Amino acid sequence: MGKVKCQLAISLDGYVAGPRQSLDDPLGVGGMELHRWVFELEAWRGPHGLEGGDTNPSSQVIREAQDVGATVMGRNMFGGGPGPWRDDPPWTGWWGEDPPYHTPVFVLTHHPRDPLPMQGGTTFHFVTDGIEPALEQARRAAKGKDVALAGGARIAQQYLAAGHVDQMDLHMVPILLGRGERLFSDVGDNMHGMQLVRTVPMRDVIHLRFGRQK
């Protein structure tokens, strides 16, 4: 069976998004600074339909994280707020016609909706009965490959606290955001058997991988 894994960019002071997050500014004030290192990478640009880009030790970290058979995400990550989906015209999220997932994606929401097939192999499925049923469905769809928890942070927190995460890649960016949304808030002190298994130090980001001892 594949692993359940997540990757998160996090500031030195522990924030995964800046303050005042909104539908117009989902990363919050300053949150974009956490992701600059990845936008330059060919390993990120290719799946997002962009040409060119750099290759460096971060590339392999990103490629490994992208090697999944299914994805789970929260409704805000899909592109919806707390209300019902907008349906005139049908709202297909903010990932465009060819989302960068190229796998089945299970969106946690309170609002039922039929599956939404997109170009490039991404189909959004909407799951209304909680994190465990969503994970079960994602595992089945992944057919033995890994399942990615795509975010947001609250989704990662819930799966972490419940002990469902087998591998966590933290991309630590050596800046302070000062305020915003913390990853490690109300998740307790239990790593559920995960330990630091790899560190890839770069100038603008330090990749920390936590996994289970074999």
Q: Does 199 bind its own copies (CB under 8 A)?
A: yes
Instruction: Give the interface segment with its own copies, choosing from 50-58, 91-99, 149-157, 174-182 (CB under 8 A).
Output: 174-182
Partner residues linked to 201 by β-bridges: 206
Q: Does 190 bind its own copies (CB under 8 A)?
A: yes
Which residue from 52, 83, 189, 213 is in contact with its own copies, where contact means CB under 8 A? 189
Q: Does 106 bind its own copies (CB under 8 A)?
A: no
Rounded to the nearest angstrom, the gap between the alpha carbon of residue 157 and the centroid of all alpha carbons in its chain is 12
Q: Does 30 bind its own copies (CB under 8 A)?
A: yes
> Among residues 49 and 174, whose Cβ is nearest to its own copies?
174
Q: What contacts 55, CB < 8 A, 6 or more positions away? A: 41, 42, 43
Q: Does 13 bind its own copies (CB under 8 A)?
A: yes
> Among residues 12 and 23, whose Cβ is nearest to its own copies?
12
Cβ 106 vs Cβ 127: under 8 Å: yes
Distance CA 146, CA 88 (A): 35
- The tokens describing 148, both together, are 């990615």
26 phi-psi bin (left φ>0, alpha ψ -120 to 50, beta other): alpha
Cβ 171 vs Cβ 38: under 8 Å: yes
# binding residues, its own copies (CB under 8 A): 27
Q: Does 60 bind its own copies (CB under 8 A)?
A: no
Give the residues lining the site for its own copies (CB under 8 A): 12-14, 30, 170, 174-179, 182, 184, 187-191, 195-196, 199, 201, 203-204, 206, 208, 210
